[in-house]
Structure 1
Amino acid sequence: MVELMRSPLHARHEALGAKFAEFSGWSMPLQYTSVVAEHTAVRTAAGLFDVSHLGNARVSGPGARSFLNSCLTNDLDRIGPGQAQYTLCCADDGGVVDDLIQYLVSDEDVLLIPNAANTATVVGLLQEAAPAGVVVTNEHLQHAILAVQGPASDAVLEALGVPPSLEYMHFRPAQIAGVTVSLCRTGYTGELGYEVVCAWSDAVTVWDALLSAGQPLGMLPAGLGARDTLRTEMGYALHGHELSAEITPVMAGLGWAVGWDKPTFWGAEALKRQRAAGPSRRSRAIKAVGRGIPRPGMDCVGDDGAVVGTVTSGTFSPTLQTGIGLALLEPGYAPGADVGVQVRARVEPFTVEKAPLVHPHVKAQ
């Protein structure tokens, strides 16, 4: 039996009574009190997440920026130092190896945050392709990542003496409890929020400081259960669900994260062909008309009972108090259409919606 990796905050989570679950080879907190309570805290005040399972990789050396720009989908020339960008690592056939955030420190230094399960694969592909002088380093266990998410996020930072003034998808150094961190105006909930990257050894100090500052403001520690319901309400893709070797950025509705005019990137020709022809299926948000709750893998059916798609993510929405999900549907099923979901022995009625399903009071961007 393979032993699961543990966050540097594992003991803190145990002390808070966390319920743990396996996630991409890591033992991570699923919830502390309840998913609904933690979800609601993020939508109304703030939540503190440990996402240290996420990967870290560094691409450095002369030409690091231009090298990455020839590999990953988004156009790194669109941003400047101190900015972050969502991008994808694709295979030659357009399938998605991983989706990740790239942080541009300088033309010779870019930090990547891949998904936990895909870090080694992404690093290996980049190392194999890197020209002389460009070094790709796996730093997965060197950094911890904490996320403060919710409308009270600015107030949490201000309570620690940290000016929160950052534009969306920007980052800068900051000091929290005497620890130097990278403060990033990013997140996975749709709410105003920040991700804090620090040294693995400093994680406990930073976590304690954030939690102490945030609790008087209504902040709760939040697990990956709430992270999933929050991102599903926003229609955000999760690799292995809305993105995979079989589900391309075009199918996932992520064409905005592709630099179509760049000279080249991995999977460019296949994606351009699919974009021109139109995808055979398209990721859409769905919302229950009745009491049905969709789950990944359930069939979506048309009026005649024919299968027209598959649920890729599904849950009960604490905000909307109904079943919601994301589904890969035939292109005719656009927002406004009706679709059935085979929930056990019954076909439950759903409507196809335009994401996001929830509009935060204080938006992330």
Structure 2
Amino acid sequence: MSPRTSPLHDRHVAAGAKLADFSGWSMPIEYAGGGVLAEHAAVRDGVGLFDVSHLGTGTVRGPGAAAFVDECLTNDLGRIGPGQAQYTLCCDRDGGVVDDLIVYLHGPDDVLLVPNAANAADVLGRLADAAPSGITVNDRHTEVAVLAVQGPRALQVLELLGLPGELDYMSFVTGTGGGGAEVTVCRTGYTGEHGYELLVDADRAVETWDAVLEAGEAEGIRLCGLGARDTLRTEMGYPLHGHELSREITPVQARAGWAVGWKKPAFWGREALLAEREAGPARLLWGLRASGRGIPRPGMAVLDAAGTRVGEVTSGTFSPTLRTGIALALIDTAAGAAEGTELAVDVRGRAQDVTVVKPPFVASHVR
């Protein structure tokens, strides 16, 4: 089966993008004229534009839709109000993570969900199966495009577009952008920088993309692919489903308990997660910073001073900001790891010394 393509696919091809299959979607990994390092630097120092239309979108609507979603997903929707978004998790009965996603709360009867590409159908299908009479769940995965404008100059770009940018973190409004398209603007992102995600109907994606690039030209905006998105999120210690969160990795192990409404009477996986939190997890997520030239990669073994395997790298990359290897890793709690502990990663048969740190690896500028 051929991978799906973004409504912006032709723009990526014209810009010389290196395309790759990402969760069944053909998406840009990097663009000609700079590559991942230049794109990463643009977001840290200026502003970058990402197409993340592979992300899923779905609506849950009907009387009590928000209360229904709150009974299913982990976070507490009572903590936010209409016009705010929230990071949350969809868990299995045993506490494993089916997906992590963003909930946009329009009102008590209207919720928008943005899950990951690979898991969108599963999450929406589970909700549809559980929905009571009167509540409808609709998959809009191919109907909505998602653009991310990220970096310290992102606000200036939105102002030039005529879109509202003076928003609190994790809040959203609807405005009209260049070309006249209706755009939902949310102060969210996956880079650790001040930024926005723009949701627009797929058939208006190209004109919105072009308008963002035109407005951002004076700010030195750069097209960015999913390669830079990964290095940026790893420097922040942000989880990626399938790496730091999965059916086998619970929120407790991944230090994502802050996204769980522990006092709520009901959500999927509640009993298993409460039991794990009470007993203490067998492993915990930590950051690792390399002191040599070796680059930790997912699946590599983490070793203690005696050479005994005590964990596994879940994500690893070269940090363009720190100019060294960094990683996220699940480490056995019995190993007694703490900030400053010296360990090693088996990098293709050679022990690369690493120091245990608590992410983020670089300062976040989200505010």
Q: Same fold (TM over 0.5)?
A: yes
What is the rounded CA distance, in whole Å, between the counterparts of 1:270 and 1:239 in structure 2? 20
TM-score norm. by structure 1 comes to 0.98
What per-residue deviation string (whole Å, max 9, x for no partner) do you get for residues 11-30 of structure 1?
00011000001100000000
Residue in 2 that maps onto 1:130: 131
What is the rounded CA distance, in whole Å, between the counterparts of 2:251 and 2:321 in structure 1? 28
What is the rounded CA distance, in whole Å, between the counterparts of 1:248 and 1:345 in structure 2? 30
Q: Any unmatched runs of 5+ in structure 1?
A: none
Residue in 1 that maps onto 2:337: 333
Residue in 2 that maps onto 1:67: 68
Residue in 2 that maps onto 1:35: 36
What is the rounded CA distance, in whole Å, between the counterparts of 1:348 and 1:159 in structure 2? 47
Residues 265-284 of structure 1: pairs in structure 2 closer than 5 A: 265-284=267-286
What per-residue deviation string (whole Å, max 9, x for no partner) do you get for residues 277-304 of structure 1?
1111111111101111000000000011
Q: Any unmatched runs of 5+ in structure 2?
A: none
Residue in 1 that maps onto 2:264: 262
> What displacement does 1:218 show?
1.7
> What displacement does 1:163 show?
3.3
Q: 1:297 aligns with which of 289, 296, 299?
A: 299
Residue in 1 that maps onto 2:356: 352
Corresponding residue SS for 2:326: strand
Corresponding residue SS for 1:196: strand
Letter aligned with residue 201 of structure 2? A
Verify the 8 A CA contact 2:164 2:185 in the aligned structure 1. no
What is the rounded CA distance, in whole Å, between the counterparts of 1:333 and 1:247 in structure 2? 18
Letter aligned with residue 131 of structure 1? P
Detail structure 1 runs of 4+ shifted over 6 Å in the superposition: none
Residue in 2 that maps onto 1:105: 106
> What displacement does 1:219 show?
1.3
Aligned length: 362
Verify the 8 A CA contact 2:164 2:173 in the aligned structure 1. no
Cα RMSD (Å) of the superposition? Answer: 0.7
TM-score norm. by structure 2 comes to 0.98
Residue in 1 that maps onto 2:174: 173
Residue in 1 that maps onto 2:115: 114
Q: 1:237 aligns with which of 216, 236, 239?
A: 239
What is the rounded CA distance, in whole Å, between the counterparts of 1:133 and 1:160 in structure 2? 39
Query: Which stretch has the larger CA shift, 226-235 or 173-182?
Result: 173-182
Letter aligned with residue 94 of structure 2? D
Residue in 2 that maps onto 1:323: 325
Residue in 1 that maps onto 2:215: 213
What is the rounded CA distance, in whole Å, between the counterparts of 1:334 and 1:209 in structure 2? 48
Identity, % of aligned pairs? 60
